[in-house]
Amino acid sequence: DLTLLDIHLPDISGLEVLKEIKEIDRDSIVIMITAYGDIETAVKSIKMGAYDFVEKPFNMDKLNLLIRKSLETVSLRKEITHLKSRLTTQYGFDNIIGESEEMKRVFDMIQKVARSDASTVLIQGESGTGKDLVARVIHYQSKRAQKPFMEINCTALPENLIESELFGYEKGAFTDAKVTKKGLFELADGGSVFLDEIGDMRLNTQAKLLKVLENKTFKRIGGVKDIVVDVRIIAATNKNLDDEVKNGNFREDLFFRLKIVPIHLPPLRDRGEDILLLARYFISLYNKEFRKNFRGLTRETERLFLEYHWPGNVRELKNVIERVMILENDEYIKPEHLPIELISRESTLRSNIERLEFDIPPGGIDIEDVEKNLIIKALEKTRGNQTRAARLLNISRDALRYRMQKFGLFENRDN
């Protein structure tokens, strides 16, 4: 971990040895020993990567102190390396759970984006769909992984504080600016900046963000110097930015800059195949965390999970599993363990379908029209969730999809 190296060796220069050491291990700590008056060479060694130098004759107490400091530096570097490695594992592709066609497409897009160096990524989706996780995976699986990942929630702070956080400020820029402070863009140089809930960013701040995207430069608040940065901007929102642009709440030019690489995360209700898969994943996760031994869900609980609308998406599913596993000690998660909204929702949906009434006119009725309307009603009641709609109609999901294709309902999805 540490080398004490004399600058003046019998057969070779200490600087040459230093160069070879750094070629083998650039993180190795080297303390140079130099004769009195040879400061110029010692300074040169520092520029070549030496940690520090001591002059002969040296004080042993000072040398011991320097060695302790250098070993602490080694320990800190190892800790940082370990942490970065852990983050790379924690936010690996394997942590995005899903086998549905929708998630396979998302997963493919995330892999392509992470391996590219696209300067902007826009992640859109309802609250709780995992936008935060996707942003981190993109960063930690990219070549920027060893550089900082900085984030800010555009909803949580007022406009003036958001600008201070993003761009930093010069000493004296405003009353409380006692010292110069770097902003997130500067701190994240070489890495990524995650702008969560960008749909809530004020227009004035949007204009300044656009400049960063276009010129790769910005000024600190109160500053006159342009600061050049290399950052990937990952933005996320649960709003429809097309509508926000039309309503004058979001700059169209910024929207076009952000959506060079758009990623849309589907709501959990459109990922029927993934619900039980995610539930098993969270059970495994919390078994380790809480030292429990849950084996899974009962059949009835599985049915309730598949029927439920999940308005809070993956976050809600995770919270339900976590709550049950904190409060209960059982082999399986049972219906009586679940919050009331999961149990009551299913019966409400079924009663809505059962209350459908059709009057048969004197001239008769086309049975296919009835079938088509039933499918439309079921899809409306389940907000487009095909798995749940199929269950309400007592047919398989494949049978439902066949009928949807037959009646042209895929083409009319938006309606």
Enumerate the domain spans of the chain. 2-88, 95-264, 269-353, 359-406
Q: Which CATH class is domain 269-353?
A: mainly alpha
pLDDT exceeds cutoff 60 at 349: no
Measure CA 119 to chain center: 16
pLDDT exceeds cutoff 50 at 406: yes
* Percent of the chain whose predicted confidence (pLDDT) is above 70: 91
**List of residues 6+ apart from 217 with CB closer than 8 A:** 211, 226, 227, 228, 229
Name the range with the highest mean pLDDT among 91-95, 182-186, 351-355: 182-186
**List of residues 6+ apart from 279 with CB closer than 8 A:** 296, 297, 305, 317, 321, 333
Q: pLDDT class for 415, splitting at 50, 70, 90?
A: very low
User: pTM of the prediction?
Assistant: 0.68
Q: pLDDT class for 86, splitting at 50, 70, 90?
A: low
pLDDT exceeds cutoff 60 at 14: yes
Q: Which CATH class is domain 2-88?
A: alpha beta
From 32-36, 125-129, 176-180, 318-322, the region with the lowest mean pLDDT = 32-36
pLDDT tens-place string over residues 218-274: 999 999 999 999 999 999 999 999 999 999 999 999 999 999 999 999 999 888 889
> Are domains 95-264 and 269-353 of this chain identical in fold?
no
Residue type, 385: N
CB 264 within 8 A of CB 240: no
- Considering the segment(s) 95-264 as one domain, its CATH architecture is 3-Layer(aba) Sandwich (3.40)
pLDDT exceeds cutoff 90 at 74: no
Superfamily of domain 359-406: Homeodomain-like (1.10.10.60)
